[in-house]
Chain A
Amino acid sequence: MQQIVNFIIRNKVFLLFLLLFSISIGFTIQSHAYHKSKFINSANFLTGGVYEASNGISDYFDLKEQNKILQEENNVLKSILFNSTTTLDSSYIDTLSFNKKYKFTTAQVIKNSYSQNNNVLTINKGTNDSIKLDLGVITSKGILGIVDNTSSSYATVLSILNTTSRISAQLKKTNHFGSLHWDGVSEKHIQLTEIPEIAPVIVGDTIITSGRSDIFPKGIPIGTVTSFKLDESENYYDVEVSLFNDMTNIEHIYIIENKDAKIIKDLLKKTNE
């Protein structure tokens, strides 16, 4: 017994080092797994507050650029509105139209990240604005990521530029779908795999979300095909997609909540049982 105590006292520095090192390795491994980094994330009160204050100053610097992006989007929306073929009758309100499937919330990015292997963004909305786990996040130009962690007024978003994220995507012209991931090389390109060999892929095709998961609705733009080749098994294409979004310049975002997500999940659970 005496010897054990002596051993601990003699090596206390090394033991403390070992303890703290294993804690930090534990955190690191957790952060590499999807949806696991519960404690060490920038959505908490302190870190979120600091980023919010810093963003309050720095977002003035690219107001012009962001305004231009928003104006472009307004332009697109206006053209859809005025060119729509259905004439609106103002005296008649369809009560069914209140019950929309997707609910949109706007938010601002207060911390962007794109140069690491596992990129996580912080946004200034949290559970107080009914932001929940696993909601989809998009910008006016295309897909951005999935909500990962939430606190009362901040949330972190797992970017598509994250080697652990998987999102279902498809070709716009046909319904052949595959899975989207990132190899960590360039923030302008992302990889789409498991597109069946029979699909008529050509360079320049548009890739959109497939709507097969309950996170994103179908048809959100992702990017265009820059190159493709057959994988080792020669049954599927590996497609290189160039993103529509400039991931280095993101400010205003939209969070999509699928109201039917719970029903779909329950149904799937029942089917699997």
Chain B
Amino acid sequence: MNSILSIHTVRFIVLILLQVLLLSHIKFLGYINPYLYILFVLLYPIKNNRMLFIFLSFLLGLSVDLFLDSGGMHAAATLTIAFIRPVALKFSFGSVYEHQTIKFGAIDFGQRLTYITILTVIHHFILFSLDIFNFSKILLILKNTLFSSIFTIILCVLVSIIFSSVNKK
């Protein structure tokens, strides 16, 4: 229990620092940034205290907001994916996910990709809607969501593959 707690604390802090110091400055083609910090939400243990999990996700988003001067848009987006995560889990892994503890390194790649894609796209759509804050620019929102999602998904998959293989050994 103790080691699980510390792994998640370290992951929380490392992901925030990585996001604000490095990833938010990539600006590929001028505006495309990956938002890797949602990996914390994706990889959080499935058997958890839901209140704590939702609160932690809010805190994660708010910390990123503090650094990026973006009000509360990251907090809102991260909170939402934390709240709907059980639905996404059920959709991508079937209803059995509650009975077994899923190791993210051990499950099928296709299922994992579906799971990451659903949450990333929802997160990015909320994020850019709140950032641009103007529904007459819906095309710009969708464009940003699409390109940033691709970038984030690739990075999330890569990072989860690299770190899960280390854990197995």
Contact = CB atoms under 8 A, between A and B. Distances in A.
A5 B133 CA distance: 37
A24 B72 contact: yes
Contact of B66 (A25, A28, A41): A41
Contacts of B132: 117, 184
A80 interface: no
A108 interface: no
Contact of B54 (A16, A41, A115, A117): A16
Nearest to B33: A115
Contact of A16 (B51, B70, B72, B73): B51
Interface stretch (B75-83, B99-107, B112-120): B75-83
B30 interface: yes
Interface centre among A28, A37, A42, A51 (most CB of B within 10 A): A28
Contact of B131 (A16, A51, A117): A117
B150 to A, nearest CB: 17
B69 A13 contact: no
B69 A21 contact: no
Interface in A60-118: 113, 115-118
B68 interface: yes
Contacts of A21: 76, 79-80
Interface residues of B, number: 32
B76 A24 contact: yes
Nearest to A25: B76
A31 to B, nearest CB: 3
Given A13-B50, A116-B131, A42 B75 contact: no
Contacts of A116: 70, 131
Contact of A40 (B51, B54, B66, B131): B66
Given A16-B54, A16-B55, A117-B132, A26 B79 contact: no
A32 interface: yes
Q: Interface extent on A, as a size class?
A: 35 or more
Nearest to B77: A24
Contacts of A25: 72, 76, 130
Given A31-B70, A42-B69, A115-B30, A50 B20 contact: yes
A135 to B, nearest CB: 18
Contacts of A1: none
Given A17-B54, A40-B65, A117-B132, A30 B75 contact: no
Nearest to A185: B140
Contacts of A51: 67
Determine chain A's interface SS by DSSP, over half rule: helix
B27 interface: yes
A54 B18 CA distance: 11
Given A20-B79, A40-B62, A117-B132, A26 B72 contact: yes
A219 B65 CA distance: 36
Contacts of A16: 51, 54-55
B66 A20 contact: no
A29 interface: yes
Interface string B23-67: 000010011010000000000000000110011001001100111
25 contacts: A13-B51, A14-B83, A16-B51, A17-B83, A20-B79, A21-B76, A21-B80, A24-B73, A24-B75, A27-B62, A27-B65, A27-B71, A28-B72, A31-B70, A31-B72, A40-B70, A41-B69, A44-B66, A50-B17, A51-B67, A113-B69, A116-B131, A117-B131, A118-B131, A187-B30
Nearest first, the 7 A-B pairs at minimum CB distance are: A31-B71, A27-B72, A24-B72, A24-B75, A24-B76, A120-B69, A28-B71
